[in-house]
Amino acid sequence: MDEPVSRLAIITFVSILLFAFGAPASPKSIEASHTGAADNFALDMNPSATPANTATSLGSRQTCARIEANGLQDADEDAVDAIIIDVTATNITSAHPVIGFSYDVSYDETSLTLQAHDPNFLLTVNPGTEFFDASEAVPDIDVNDKWNGAGVDTGEGAPESGTGVLHRLTISADAGAASGTYAVALSDAAHIDSRNDAFIPDNLYGGSITVGTSYCSRTDSDGDGVFDEDEFSCAGAAAVYNPSLRPERIDGAFAGISDDGDTDIDELLPSGSAAYDCDGDGYKGDAVNTSSQSSSEKWVYGTADTRPDQDPCGWAPVPVPPFNLPIGWPADLRGDSSFSANKVNIQDLGAFTAPINRMNTSPGDANYDVRWDVVPGKSGLSKDINVVDLANISNVVAPAMLGGVKAFNGPNCPWPP
């Protein structure tokens, strides 16, 4: 068996090792291989989220972070108008431990700038590390929408394996950056082992940065049960990062007080909020909504005002003009049973067929009731209440009030009526 290539020799041709996997870099040419590769290289857009990443452990991966770009440190920022993101590796095998890595990160350099990087994580854990940084210069000002991160441990200590952080990057929003969502992608990634063989990770996962009035999809920064993008349009920017403020509610402990901090009591939601989920139950307020991914509270409760989108819990067993009352959670179709009260399970699905069969009916049919038409319209099928409505209840609804997990067989609604 060949002896491992000396790591002191590797530095002589590090650019070849890290950028041209098939080129002869030594008497033993490099092999780009998936066997023994890491499961993935990924971007974690908020590495400090609990549990925080360390050199040798990873918490939950966040796919998006937000920069306000206002000269203050707010939103998801780790410094003024800047965020820290991690480049991570999962399951680098002990049979092919890492002594070097390379990757490209692509982003919009007309609006964002990679300001700094820190490689002192996984590759520097073991004694004897002598890390050579082969990354591009920072700040990244070449305006080619790409930056290369690379480095190799030239020391004689034991190489590292396992899961952890390869590189920590700082990215800022440029002055005048337009509001919007910007993709941040990984490509051309690999690690090399102590034999100078290269291994391309099985998967690459990128992320995104939102700037200005754009918000990360399905993120609840203040943990109040309303996603940021909805809360901004339902209660104003001040509520997005303040757990004591939320869109106006009218149920239970929220009745009779000003929830959004404007001193008005139990007022209707603001103009423009109808396309958003203001109470966090997974259903938007807009009465004209034919998306199979969400439904309409105004539609199923038969009202033109915003009250249904101000109460996230509760069920409506029978139509009570002019509403299906009590207003609450469109997914909770069977709340009169202790088995199904205040949660979504098989009894809610069963309510489509028993004791009255609502399936395959439309307005004008004897058994049609808009309360079961949770996805308005036919969705391309022949009748309004159909399998799309069933699928919405069983597979689609993953509301902010439940932390974004699927409602079916999930937690109870946190604010019982």
Rg, the chain, Cα only: 27
Residue 25's pLDDT band (boundaries 50, 70, 90)? very low
Q: What is the pLDDT of residue 143?
A: 87
Helices (H), 150-309: 228-235, 297-301
Model pLDDT for residues 90-133, shown as the tens digit of each residue: 999 999 999 999 999 999 999 999 999 999 999 999 999 999 99
Is residue 151 within 8 A of residue 77, CB to CB? The reply is no
Cis bond before residue 355 (omega within 30° of 0)? yes
Q: What is the pLDDT of residue 325?
A: 59
- Distance (Å, whole) CA 59 – CA 47: 8
Q: Give the pairing type, strands 319-320 and 323-324.
A: antiparallel
Q: Up-side HSE of residue 285: CA atoms within 13 Å toward CB?
A: 28
Mean pLDDT is lowest, of 130-144, 324-338, 343-357, for 324-338
Is residue 119 within 8 A of residue 166, CB to CB? The reply is yes
Q: Which residues are paired to 199 by β-bridges?
A: 33, 191
**Average model confidence (pLDDT) across the chain:** 88
Write the CATH number of the domain with boundaries 7-211.
2.60.40.680
Q: What is the pLDDT of residue 286?
A: 83
Q: Give the pairing type, strands 319-320 and 207-211.
A: unpaired
Say which residue, 377 or 209, is predicted with more confidence.
209
Model pLDDT for residues 76-90, shown as the tens digit of each residue: 999 999 999 999 999
Nearest residue to 177 via CA among 82, 110, 80, 115: 110
* CA 362 from centre of chain: 36
Q: What is the pLDDT of residue 3?
A: 41
Nearest residue to 190 via CA among 8, 31, 60: 31
Q: Distances in Å between the alpha carbon of 199 and those of 40, 51, 65?
A: 11, 28, 29
Residue 24's pLDDT band (boundaries 50, 70, 90)? very low
- Return the structure tokens found at 260: 């959004």
Mean pLDDT is lowest, of 13-17, 191-195, 285-289, 412-416, for 13-17
Is residue 319 within 8 A of residue 371, CB to CB? The reply is yes
- Return the structure tokens found at 377: 């319209």
Q: Give the 3-state secondary structure of residue 17.
A: helix
Number of other residues whose CB lies within 10 A of the CB of residue 120: 14
The predicted model gives 5-33 an average pLDDT of 39
Residue 382's pLDDT band (boundaries 50, 70, 90)? very high
Say which residue, 217 or 24, is predicted with more confidence.
217
Domain ranges of the chain: 7-211, 219-417
Backbone angles phi, psi at 9, to 5 degrees: -80, -25
- Distance (Å, whole) CA 287 – CA 301: 10
Model pLDDT for residues 266-308, shown as the tens digit of each residue: 999 998 899 999 999 999 998 554 444 457 888 888 887 888 9
- Distance (Å, whole) CA 373 – CA 384: 7
**pTM assigned to the model:** 0.76
- Return the structure tokens found at 376: 């308005």
- What percentage of the chain has pLDDT greater than the value 70? 87
* CA 50 from centre of chain: 15
Model pLDDT for residues 327-344, shown as the tens digit of each residue: 889 999 988 888 988 999
Q: Distances in Å between the alpha carbon of 280 and those of 216, 219, 297, 315?
A: 15, 12, 12, 16
Model pLDDT for residues 157-181, shown as the tens digit of each residue: 999 999 999 999 999 999 989 999 9
Number of other residues whose CB lies within 10 A of the CB of residue 380: 9
**Residue 202 pLDDT > 60:** yes
